[in-house]
């Protein structure tokens, strides 16, 4: 079925030396009570209306979640207690970022095109104003990336893209359970000799569903009602626990 879709996409491509179109196994992800992650299949096709250009063809697939500012704090031991000392504000960092490639990223992507398209994790995290906040601001950026990679929201999989006959593209990207709600951006880059020659982009809508969405909207739209409801549930839970202990003592 996927092969048929790719063939149809190739016939629909506009004229150009080398172009790529992308497709997704699903364009919407619902975060429910039992959501434990999801897997997105990113597929694409390369079409050419001219002879194959010289040079090695490589592919990079990225999926990027909603971005926002982040405060990174450093802890130090003072009088036997760990306390926050320095802090650096990161201008914007993706809540989720995954990279899959046909080969080692440092070998297939030039630094110039990496800077232009912000493909690597280090380039996706923007730290324009961080240098003025601390002399060792890159340490804070590295710490943020390290922590988010450890939590599974920043991923790099060299060799995670399958390129068949220099035409058909396939990559399976695992989305973790701790996703941020919003629009995710999926991109496919075609590269030759480290240079990006074509880009295709599509979107994934990640939204809470069911009771999670109801409570989320209630907290945002009706904070007073949400607070009263939360307090009432806490009181009820405490009363039930007290009643249970009293019954067990008898």
Pairing of strands 154-157, 97-101: parallel
Is the confidence at residue 15, as pLDDT, over 70?
Answer: no
What is the token pair recorded at 122?
């280090």
Contact indicator for 186, 161 with CB cutoff of 8 Å = no
**Backbone φ/ψ region at 191: left (φ over 0), alpha (ψ -120 to 50), beta:** beta
What pLDDT does residue 160 have? 92
Is the confidence at residue 9, as pLDDT, over 60?
Answer: no
What is the token pair recorded at 25?
């196994």
Q: How many CB atoms lie within 10 A of CB 30?
A: 15
Contact indicator for 24, 204 with CB cutoff of 8 Å = yes
What would the mean pLDDT of 217-228 be, rounded to a whole number? 68
The pTM score is 0.75
Query: What's the pLDDT tens digit per position in 85-109?
Result: 778 888 889 999 999 999 999 999 9
What would the mean pLDDT of 159-184 be, rounded to a whole number? 89
What pLDDT does residue 83 have? 76
What is the token pair recorded at 139?
């340490």
More confident residue, 66 or 8: 66
DSSP string, 182-194: EEEEEEEEEEETT
Q: Which of 58-67, 145-154, 215-224 has the lowest mean pLDDT?
A: 215-224
pLDDT band at 41, cuts 50/70/90? very high
Is the confidence at residue 2, as pLDDT, over 90?
Answer: no
Query: Residues 6 or more apart from 112 whose CB is under 8 A from it?
Result: none
Separation of alpha carbons 133 and 88, rounded Å: 6
More confident residue, 205 or 229: 205
What would the mean pLDDT of 128-143 be, rounded to a whole number? 72
Q: How many CB atoms lie within 10 A of CB 91?
A: 14
Separation of alpha carbons 185 and 63, rounded Å: 6
């Amino acid at each position: 079925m996927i092969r048929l879709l790719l063939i149809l996409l190739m016939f629909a491509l506009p004229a150009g030396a080398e172009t790529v179109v992308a497709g997704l196994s699903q364009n919407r992800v619902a975060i429910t009570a039992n959501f434990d992650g999801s897997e997105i299949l990113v597929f694409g096709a390369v079409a050419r209306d001219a002879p194959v250009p010289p040079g090695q063809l490589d592919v990079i697939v990225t999926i990027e979640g909603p971005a926002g500012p982040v405060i990174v704090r450093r802890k130090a031991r003072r009088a036997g207690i760990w306390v926050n000392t320095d802090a650096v504000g990161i201008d914007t960092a993706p809540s989720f970022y995954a990279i899959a490639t046909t080969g080692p990223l440092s070998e297939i992507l030039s630094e110039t095109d990496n800077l232009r398209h912000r493909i690597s994790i280090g380039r996706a995290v923007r730290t324009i104003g961080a240098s003025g906040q601390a002399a060792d601001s890159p340490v804070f950026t590295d710490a943020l990336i390290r922590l988010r990679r450890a939590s599974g929201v920043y991923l790099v999989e060299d060799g995670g893209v399958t390129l068949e006959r220099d035409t058909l593209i396939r990559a399976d990207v695992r989305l973790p359970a701790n996703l941020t709600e919003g629009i995710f951006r999926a991109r496919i880059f075609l590269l030759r000799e480290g240079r990006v020659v074509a880009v295709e982009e599509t979107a994934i809508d990640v939204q809470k569903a069911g009771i999670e969405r109801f409570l989320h909207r209630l907290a945002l739209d009706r904070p007073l009602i949400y607070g009263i409801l939360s307090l009432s549930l806490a009181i009820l839970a405490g009363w039930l626990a007290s009643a249970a202990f009293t019954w067990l003592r008898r």
